[in-house]
Amino acid sequence: MIYITFPDGTVKEFEQPVDGMAVAKSISEGFAANCVAMEIDGNTMDLSLPLKKDATIRFITASDPEAVTILRHSAAHLMAQAISHIYPKAHFTIGPVVENGFYYDMDMEPVSEEDFAKIEAEMKKLVKAKIPLQRKEVSKDEALKFYANEPYKSEMISDLEDGTITFYTQGDFTDLCRGPHIPHTGFIKAFKLMKVSGAYWRGDPEKPQLQRIYGTAFFSKKELKAYLTLLEEAAKRDHRKVGTALDLFSFHDDAPGMPFFHANGMEIWNSLLAYWREEHRRAGYVETKTPLILNRVLWEKSGHWENYRENMYTVVIDETESAIKPMNCPGGMLLYRMKRHSYKDLPIRAAEIGLVHRHELSGVLSGLFRVRAFHQDDAHIFMTPDMIEEEILGVLKLVARMYSTFGLGFHLELSTRPEKSIGSDLQWEQATNGLASALDAYGADYQVNKGDGAFYGPKIDIHIKDAIGRTWQCGTIQLDMSLPERFDLSYIGEDNEKHRPVMIHRVIFGSIERFFGILVEHFAGKFPLWLAPVQVVILPINDHLVPFAAEVKDLFSAAGLRSFIDDRTESLNKKVRGAQLNKIPLIVTLGEKEKANNTLAVRTLDGKVSYGVGRDDFINAAVSNILARKLEMDVLA
RNA sequence: GCCAGCGUAGCUCAGCUGGUAGAGCUACUGAUUUGUAAUCAGUGGGUCGGGGGUUCGAGUCCCUCCGCUGGCUCCA
């Protein structure tokens, strides 16, 4: 007789032997049919597992967040089983769950997406058959014997401890797996194979290349469909596509990974930076600028030559080797060293919109998101140790302020001392506590990533969330205990002695190019008025009204509005359509009525049209919307 | 860098198993003078990513280089 406690506190008695499924059925058959797995005393396991002693139980059903992970793991097995039928020669390696699905790495003949249909068809058959997944504990010897002809599995088993090895069998397919799994394949009602790629065994380029097939799975077709719709929405917003359509930027074979910004793109860029400068000036920053090319000796001193050499472009000038800067900090160190500093001068907040070049591997380049030349909205803050908390808090507040202007939410992560690091315990403690207490003072929840800090100091990473729920790491605040040492920075303290200042590097947009790309996707090209390259398009209704349109444009220009006249001899409908497709926030139509009454007909991107709008009312509303950098279009309100 | 797929007009794309390039939009010209998402007609526009090869003949096949896209240990 054993006693099982349920989440609501009730306790039931069961005769031995009893497994999780039987306990679930004691609630109801219908409930049991929806159970995916169970949690026994906090450990997730299979429903088929026998319960041998008193325990607390919680059933995991499709609606629990962890259930989908179990489902996807089982889906990976399902795919492997299907593939073992179609490609009997395939050797299986690992098949884990990843962020939005799962994958399985297999040593097999190359497959392409065209092969997915037949694999999926086979998977569907197996789902229909509702094949149970059965767990079995095996000894290491048994396991090795079973996988005698499977080199990858044998290798994995060799790394495992005897007594902890389990197999899962579903029909004719058995896989080494820790589990847990769903009771039978019938749960996998909605799945899709997504893509195929190459991956090395254990990620090692020296080892054999495997076929990796990615898939995803959900408990319902509806959820799968919602996920696929999200992907479609993301594809529609793809900044490379929108950037081409709106004539914002381009890439050319002559400079791979280095973006060209067009006139429209530069309007956005300049508006973005004007805003950035305004906020930084207000927050007490000064702006500096350091050269693109600096002598090798400097990079040796900073440690980049030793640690970052393979990402740096170098150039020989007058027989002296130099490097194009991949980071702005060494230049910033030189500026600090120009003068003697008193503790009274600190903190010094020196910003720099620095253009950096990094030689990224050709295969990782991706639109504006991963480039070889980009601008960082960098700043180095030099301070005394007791200023850490306040300065970090200041950066966090600036971050919050600036991101909210774009309607971007964010969360914070603190990374602490890694195994390999420089500096003393005391320094790390002081630095990490400084960051943590700033985070506490700021008041938002944050996640701690133990050991994820840089070797030269702890850091805070800021992850933003865009309009369709995707997250991106943009901002970062890194405390640096290395460079002040290497460059022997100092300030004179109250005691009239030299002291080492504390320095942080911080960025808010991060890479401006990347942030630009994120904004394109976040807004889906429909920029708020203050960022829109063209704010107003003027459509004269016929050719005779073009001179009148020019007068109106002059009024707009005088007020600082970016406008242009579409004077093509095309139909109004066509010009409206063009303006809408170009995502121009305001369309002003001018006809005889407007000319007679000195009014405007104004159409916004949502298709609403207001007639008889006063010119001054319109201009004032637009200008105040821009000055306030509003996210919403309220010009017609 | 490695693997897979891709590269045809400014843009989006068609071009079957090799037979000397095509559509829509854009642009330009003319007609129309338009009241809120595509007026009509005409014209222009391509070394089919570069180079090499096979062939009587290559956008199509092969080799090579370049570029783009997606991946490249969130460890059974």
User: Strand, coil or helix: what is A453?
Assistant: coil
Nucleotide B58 C1' to residue A211 CA (A)? 33
pLDDT in tens, A502-519: 999 999 999 999 999 999
pLDDT at A637 over 70: no
> What does the DSSP assignment read for A380-435?
EEEE-GGGHHHHHHHHHHHHHHHHHHTT-EEEEEEE---SS--S-HHHHHHHHHHH
Nucleotide B71 C1' to residue A619 CA (A)? 50
- Nucleotide lying nearest to A603, CA to C1' measure: B36
Of A61-70, A263-272, A387-396, A580-589, where does mean pLDDT reach its minimum?
A: A61-70
Rounded to whole angstroms, the Cα distance separating A282 from A484 reads 27
User: pLDDT category, A379, cuts 50, 70, 90?
Assistant: very high
By the 10 Å C-beta count (0-12 exposed, 13-18 middle, 19+ buried), A552 is classed as buried
Residues of chain A with CATH 3.10.20.30: 2-61
Q: Residue A110 corresponds to which tokens in the numbers above?
A: 């190359």
Report pLDDT for A519. 96
Task: Compute how many other C-beta atoms are within 10 angstroms of the C-beta atom of residue A257.
Answer: 20
CA-based R_g, chain A, Å: 31
Decide: CB of A425 under 7 A of nucleic strand B. Answer: no
- Which of these, A504, A511, A473, lies nearest to A360 by C-alpha position? A511
pTM for this model (two decimals) = 0.90
- Nucleotide lying nearest to A606, CA to C1' measure: B37
Rounded to whole angstroms, the Cα distance separating A502 from A387 reads 9
Report pLDDT for A199. 80
The residues of A between 42 and 61 with beta carbon within 7 Å of nucleic strand B are: none
End-to-end CA distance of chain A: 72
ipTM above 0.85, yes or no: yes
Which three-class secondary structure string do you get for A332-387? HHHHHHCCCCEHHHCCEEEEEEEEEECCCCHHHCECCCECCEEEEEEEEEEECHHH
Contact A43/A178 with Cβ under 8 angstroms? no
Q: Which long-range contacts (CB under 8 A, 24 or more apart) does A172-175 make?
A: A172/A81, A172/A84, A173/A77, A173/A80, A173/A81, A173/A84, A174/A146, A175/A77, A175/A80, A175/A92, A175/A95
User: pLDDT category, A599, cuts 50, 70, 90?
Assistant: very high
pLDDT at A547 over 70: yes
Q: Which amino acid is present at A482?
A: S
Nucleotide B31 C1' to residue A568 CA (A)? 14
Query: Which one from A85, A329, A417, A461 is the annotated catalytic residue?
Result: A329
Decide: CB of A566 under 7 A of nucleic strand B. Answer: no
Count of all residues that appear for chain A in the document:
637
- Which of these, A47, A121, A34, A127, lies nearest to A86 by C-alpha position? A121
Classify A536-627 by CATH class.
alpha beta
Is A358 part of the annotated catalytic residue set? yes
Mean pLDDT of the A606-616 span: 94
Q: Report CA A111 to chain centroid distance, whole Å.
A: 29
Specify the CATH number for A2-61; select among 1.20.120.1200, 3.40.640.10, 3.40.50.720, 3.10.20.30.
3.10.20.30
Nucleotide B12 C1' to residue A579 CA (A)? 19
Rounded to whole angstroms, the Cα distance separating A512 from A515 reads 5
CB-based contacts of A14: which residues, under 8 Å, 6+ apart?
Answer: A1, A2, A3, A4, A22, A23, A26, A51
Residues of chain A with CATH 3.40.50.800: 536-627
Contact A246/A583 with Cβ under 8 angstroms? yes
Residues of chain A with CATH 3.30.930.10: 249-290+326-522
pLDDT in tens, A571-582: 999 999 999 999
Mean pLDDT of the A23-41 span: 83
Report pLDDT for A282. 96
Mean pLDDT of the A34-47 span: 83
Residue bearing tokens 């159970």: A35
The better pLDDT of the pair A270, A30 is held by A270
Whether the link from the prior residue into A256 is cis, omega within 30° of 0, is: no
Rounded to whole angstroms, the Cα distance separating A543 from A525 reads 30
Query: Which one from A105, A378, A461, A566 is the annotated catalytic residue?
Result: A378
pLDDT at A197 over 90: no
- Which of these, A110, A120, A124, A122, lies nearest to A85 by C-alpha position? A122
Q: Which amino acid is present at A176?
A: L
Mean pLDDT of the A192-218 span: 82
Nucleotide B13 C1' to residue A160 CA (A)? 53
Q: According to the CATH classification, is domain A68-234 in 2.60.40.1080? A: no
Is A175 part of the annotated catalytic residue set? no
Report pLDDT for A629. 97
Q: Residue A381 corresponds to which tokens in the numbers above?
A: 């803050």
Rounded to whole angstroms, the Cα distance separating A377 from A474 reads 11
Is A380 part of the annotated catalytic residue set? yes
- Nucleotide lying nearest to A73, CA to C1' measure: B76
Query: Which one from A81, A170, A211, A376 is the annotated catalytic residue?
Result: A376
CATH placement of domain A249-290+326-522: 3.30.930.10
User: pLDDT category, A441, cuts 50, 70, 90?
Assistant: very high
pLDDT at A207 over 80: no
The residues of A between 310 and 339 with beta carbon within 7 Å of nucleic strand B are: none
- Nucleotide lying nearest to A361, CA to C1' measure: B1
- Nucleotide lying nearest to A360, CA to C1' measure: B1
Nucleotides of B under 7 A from a protein CB: 1-5, 11-12, 26-28, 31-39, 66-76
Is A372 part of the annotated catalytic residue set? no
